[in-house]
Structure 1
Amino acid sequence: MIDIINLAKAPEHIPQIAAWHQAEWGYLNPGGTVETRIERMKRYLSGAKIPAMYIAVDGSALLGTAALVDSDMDSHPELSPWLASVFVNPDYRKRGVGAALVKKVMEEARIQGISPLYLFTPDQQRFYESLGWEFIAHENYRGGNATLMKIHFK
């Protein structure tokens, strides 16, 4: 059974998460390392509502991540807060894990009275649209393509 919990309850997963994120998005932060990601991820352990990272687990298996952060694109400091770091272990993709993680962060934002919420994605626009997100713009961000999106909660 898949559970979605706050990373603060299972910090032992940070090294694996840092390795995944570095492999997936390292190109966005040239010069960054797994070690620097591990250090930055410690901010998620404070118990704050923002930043917060949620992880999907099945027993002791780590399946994926999603975070609620103040800012995720330095080119858009006027936009806040953001859904970020949505990642699913390739062995568990196409099983609803990513959607469950995104919905968890959306629910946390809604509970906190946050609206709108933003995200950017290099290649998952259709996935987010299927969850109710709206297209804002296509941009070149740090040498790659990015689609900027938002969602409003009622």
Structure 2
Amino acid sequence: MPSQLSFSSDISTIDVETVHRWLSEESYWARGRTREAHERAMAGSRNYGVFDAGDGRQLGYARAITDGATFAWIADVFVDPESRGRGVGKRIMAGIIEDLEPLELKRVALFTEDAHGLYEQFGFEQLTDPESWMLRWGRGYGPSAV
């Protein structure tokens, strides 16, 4: 991993305004998310950031929702478009795995439409039993949403 990147799991280091803008305006999965919903999501999660070690600017964000014993869901992985190609995604995933590893979780899951290659580098595999997984969509979300 490039040494000019630093990783933090300290929520006080997260630039909440920047992360909310990235997710609510630029992501395909959280477009339109309110600031209040974003702050609630952060409060219920382990939060991670990758920063430029030189100027301290936040370059990436992710969070993990976990019970701390059996399961975690990695969500909201986002790399600043201007910083893509610098290893930010790899650095954030390495930090998350390092943070979650001591919990000895049975499963760590995530959803992606476009970054399978990144996550495969960290041991993620496509589901071999998708028929066993179920999903209940919230009001206004999912395939039947208008």
TM bracket, shorter-chain basis: 0.7 to 0.9
Larger RCO (alpha carbons 8 Å, 6+ apart): 2
CA RMSD of aligned residues (A): 3.0
Instruction: Name structure 1 gaps, 5 residues minimum.
Output: 45-50, 72-78, 144-154
The alignment covers a number of residue pairs equal to 128
Give how far 1:7 is off.
Answer: 4.2
**Do structure 1's residue 67 and structure 2's residue 63 form an aligned pair?**
yes
1:18–1:37 CA contact under 8 A, matched in 2: no
1:83–1:117 CA contact under 8 A, matched in 2: yes
**CA radius of gyration, larger in:** 2
When the two structures are superposed, what TM-score results if normalisation uses the length of structure 1? 0.69
Instruction: Name structure 2 gaps, 5 residues minimum.
Output: none
**Do structure 1's residue 17 and structure 2's residue 16 form an aligned pair?**
no
**Do structure 1's residue 39 and structure 2's residue 33 form an aligned pair?**
no
When the two structures are superposed, what TM-score results if normalisation uses the length of structure 2? 0.72
Give how far 1:30 is off.
Answer: 7.4
| Fraction of identical pairs, as percent | 25
SS in 2 for 1:135: coil
Give 4+ residue runs of structure 1 displaced > 6 Å after superposition: 138-141
2:71–2:105 CA contact under 8 A, matched in 1: no
Structure 1 match to 2:82: 91
1:3–1:56 CA contact under 8 A, matched in 2: yes
Q: Write the deviation string for residues 50-85 of structure 1: whole angstroms up to 9, x where unpaired.
A: x211101113211001211139xxxxxxx9311111
